[in-house]
Amino acid sequence: MNDPAQARAQSLIHHTRSVERLVAGQRTSDGAGVKLIRVLTQDLQRRLDPYLMLDAFGSDNPDDYIAGFPDHPHRGFETITYMIAGRMLHRDSAGHQGLLENGGVQWMTAGRGVIHSEIPQQEAGVMEGFQLWLNLPGRDKMQAPWYRDFTAAELPRLRTAQGVAVTVIAGHSHGVDGAVQRAASQPLFLDVHLPAGTDFAEVLPADHNAFLYVYRGSIVVAGQTIASRQMAILANAVHHDGVALRATGDGEARVLLIAGQPLREPIAQHGPFVMNTVDEIRAAIQDFRSGQLVR
């Protein structure tokens, strides 16, 4: 191996994380009827703190996605939408608007409150992507909303000597800084494309929660095969210093690798509102009903 960054990562990982649990996800619909797979569900929020939800959507049938996600509110967390096929138009109450296209990322901080819509801008073809919810610490839940669109060309990337291609959406990987950093939760969000038979290693702090979602092909982690459309929760242990992946089969494997520092705060959720207490949830609902959410 002549890739210094990858060789350094491999040498630092003496004890790769194992797979604690495989999750298939739940088929459901959201918005105005968009069909999707809810991979990270509410019952896993404590285990995968600071993450609250991961949805995977993908279809070439317009009936599955055409109605999109009309106006709806959020408070108390961030949404990260990663589009790998199709086009989605975002508009929100803070005056932001952007067209999310193939390979692009939309990062939105709902903060104290935002009402937005996400509407497909196509009538045919494949629509595929992911939406990840990242919790905010209590001190930041009422901050001003923030929004940024990143085109595919604006996202940092790296390629290993074996030909593994990595898009660094958040955090740091092999000396490459991601598009977004967050001090409180230190999110790592990578899209890793591994040619058949190749390996990829990533150093992970032992106290960070981490998981994988395989959306093409299959991989092996510590002897455990993870098939397409499976999420693997990675085990936490003080002696674990990272994770090592290997692509199996004859084709490319594509994997989301996501990790972060847990906030270790109470989680109170009611639909699109995520706060620390039930009283704060009641206040969010009241603010929305009275028109105060976005002021």
The pLDDT tens digits of the residues spanning 135-144 come to: 999 999 999 9
270, part of any domain: yes
pLDDT score for 12: 59
pTM given for the model: 0.94
163, part of any domain: yes
What region does 265 belong to: left with phi over 0, alpha with psi -120 to 50, or beta?
Answer: beta
Chain-wide mean pLDDT for the chain?
Answer: 93
Tokens of 211: 């998981």
* Poorest-pLDDT segment among 10-14, 122-126, 146-150: 10-14
pLDDT score for 112: 97
Angle, CA 8 vertex, CA 7 and CA 9 arms, to 5°: 90
295, part of any domain: no
pLDDT score for 2: 47
Cβ contact 270:285 at 8 Å: yes
Listed residue (155, 181, 149) closest to 167, CA to CA: 155
C-alpha atoms less than 13 angstroms from C-alpha of 7 in its C-beta half-sphere: 5
Query: Which residues of 144-187 form beta strands (DSSP E)?
Result: 146-150, 157-159, 165-170, 172-173, 176-177
Percentage of the residues of the chain whose pLDDT score is greater than 70: 96
Domain count, the chain: 1
pLDDT score for 8: 52
Better pLDDT: 192 or 240: 192
CATH number of the domain bearing residue 193: 2.60.120.10
Task: For residue 181, give its domain range.
Answer: 4-290
Per-residue pLDDT band at 237 (split at 50, 70, 90): confident
pLDDT score for 32: 83
pLDDT digits (tens, 9 = 90+) for 36-80: 999 999 999 999 999 999 999 999 999 999 999 999 999 999 999
DSSP state of 17: P
C-alpha atoms less than 13 angstroms from C-alpha of 40 in its C-beta half-sphere: 26
Mean pLDDT value across residues 153-165: 97
10, part of any domain: yes
165, part of any domain: yes
pLDDT score for 183: 97
29, part of any domain: yes
Q: Give first-to-last CA distance, the chain, whole Å.
A: 55
Give phi and psi for 272, each to the nearest 5: -85, 10
Listed residue (138, 15, 18, 119) closest to 72, CA to CA: 119
Tokens of 44: 């896993």
Per-residue pLDDT band at 1 (split at 50, 70, 90): very low
